[in-house]
Chains A and B, each alone.
Chain A
């Protein structure tokens, strides 16, 4: 069911500000051109905003990782050609210039068409996923009835670009690493989708704005009805988080691109700008998945407390997105890398059964939605037990044969 489109006139001025700016630019044009230019402006806005976010994200990642490792991180590159350091804010610009000026080496035996197309296809598909995220109450670029499915379709097609990169390099190590990366991506596609199905079930809609609309309101006046604050939603969120980290090749699942693993995996034969494009596509994919996580579980653009409505909705979306990205960086700083057999085992033997059982718990939650206030504690306790029990049991099964290592000669 599509939610009724939000009435633009009833929202506050701050909410309408991006739309007013857009209309100021395009209102003079006749009708079909107006639609085309509105769409082009939306695309331009997404590209500009998320490319800048990508640049700042690389810097933020380096600084946060550095601070966790007791060092300051890049703090020298500032405004170019001046003395102002700005705490290292010019570092992304310096990195971009470096990448652009590097020589683009294509191995002689490589397949030139595929070698060129792989980063292009990857970046294009990663950018496509941004079209359905609801950035604000009035700011959905494309209102699709099956928005979540579109997101996953575009995301799944990126795996093909990875294979093209590994194959076109004509390097057996790249090919091997691309196959391993594909195995990782396919393994984690399933928990990702299975974690999202309960959300769709409870929201009753596949469209992203419908899912945000289903998380409206507050319990007891101050607890927001976000899906993450329910037992099944919390478990789904954790599974989604793990699978999203694996889908974007991010630590601790960054086996495909770690320097100690087959040099750089499928990226070995890429240098200069193409490498920067791969990098950008990976970060954009991570940002898009974080955006989807915010939409599905954290209430999208909704404010957490009722009296905070004056803050515009896109600011809330941005804040939640940045918080989730910070959690991704924090996880990268903390956990060691998983081996290929460890991560596939985690996916198939732990996350998939957990997600299936969680689906059952969510179905039970939906069936007991009509219970009165007296039975609510039972509902919550039952759901929590149904979520925690399998987690503990499956966790025991996963870590069954593992003991702390004993070193005989160390």
Chain B
């Protein structure tokens, strides 16, 4: 009969109207910026440099300035200068580590290729600035964060990385322990045996 559809429609909208006051399913707006949506764990926005010590992440950066991420970055937004001492010998630390915010596209390739788990993806997106030139260049002071921060952002990923690093460290320690007593026993048995080559280090996961 004409009108039954109209009444049914009115009932649906009335239910929405009344429900929006008490039913969370009927009020789906998050009132930004007072409320924030809970971001999924895999959300990524901009990289950061990982440091081991929570009290001083800048001094304990895992980055050894190997420049692999600089070479692999598709828009070439990373600029690295290795620290060298007075004699020119490379210290395995970056002196300059700049990432250009206006160029970075958060593709995560730098994270994927880093052999030392030194660079990971952050989740901060509220980084708009009015300073168009210097405000969009992040230096290593701005980029350094601790491993505890990494655990907070991506718990599963951080746990996996820590487990892999611990396993690698254990394997290296076991290999070192296996190598140490062998040369002590070798001169007693065969003096002309050449030293066994060390197995190559397992690549970082």
Q: State which of B2, B6, B17 has its C-beta within 8 Å of the C-beta of A67.
A: B17
Is A371 in contact with chain B by the CB < 8 A criterion? Answer: no
Bound together, the chains give a CA A391 to CA B1 distance in angstroms of 9
Q: Which of B7-15, B122-130, B138-146, B167-175 contacts the other chain?
A: B7-15
Q: Which residue of A lies closest to B9 (CB)?
A: A334
Interface flag for B29 (CB, 8 Å): yes
CB distance from A311 to the nearest CB of B (A): 26
Contact B10 A70 (CB under 8 A): no
Interface centre among A68, A71, A395 (most CB of B within 10 A): A68
Q: Is there contact, CB below 8 Å, between B2 and A64?
A: no
A71 B27 Cβ-Cβ under 8 A: yes
Q: Identify whether the interface residues of A are mostly helix, strand, loop, or mixed.
A: helix
Q: A392 touches which one: B1, B10, B27 (CB < 8 A)?
A: B1
- Give Cα A5 to B74, complex, Å: 87
Per the 8 Å Cβ criterion, residues 1-42 of B in contact with A are: 1-3, 6, 9-10, 12-14, 16-17, 20-21, 26-29, 31
Q: Are the CB atoms of A395 and B16 closer together than 8 Å? A: no
Interface residues on A, range: 10 to 19
CB contacts between A and B, total, < 8 Å: 49
Interface string of A395-407 (1 = CB under 8 A from B): 1101100000000
Chain B residues with CB under 8 A of A69: 16
Q: Please name all residues of chain A whose beta carbon is closer than 8 Å to the beta carbon of B2 when the two chains form the complex.
A: 391-392, 395-396, 398-399
Task: Look across to chain A and name the residue whose beta carbon is closest to the beta carbon of B11.
Answer: A334
Separation of A331 and B14 alpha carbons in the complex (Å): 10
Residues of B within 8 Å of A75, CB to CB, are 31
Chain A: minimal CB distance from B9 (Å): 5
Q: Which chain B residues border A399 with CB–CB below 8 Å?
A: 2
Please measure, in the bound complex, the distance between the C-alpha atom of A398 and the C-alpha atom of B2, giving whole angstroms.
9
- The digit string for A245-277, where 1 denotes a CB below 8 A from any CB of B, is 000000000000000000000000000000000
Q: Select one of A70, A392, A395, A396 contacting B20, CB under 8 A.
A: A70
Q: A335 interface residue, CB < 8 Å from B?
A: yes
Bound-state Cα–Cα, A266 to B154, Å: 56
Please tell me if A204 contacts chain B, counting CB pairs below 8 Å: no
Q: Nearest residue in B to A76 (C-beta to C-beta)?
A: B31
Residues from chain B with Cβ under 8 Å of A68 in the complex: 13, 16-17, 20
**Interchain residue pairs A-B with the least CB separation, the first 3:** A395-B2, A67-B20, A334-B13
Supply 15 further A-B pairs (C-beta < 8 A) apart from A67-B21, A67-B27, A392-B2. Answer: A67-B20, A68-B13, A68-B16, A69-B16, A71-B27, A71-B28, A72-B31, A331-B10, A334-B9, A334-B10, A334-B12, A335-B6, A391-B3, A395-B1, A398-B2
Name 15 interchain pairs, CB-CB below 8 A, sorted by A. A67-B16, A68-B17, A70-B20, A70-B27, A70-B28, A71-B27, A71-B28, A75-B31, A330-B10, A334-B13, A391-B2, A391-B3, A392-B1, A395-B1, A399-B2
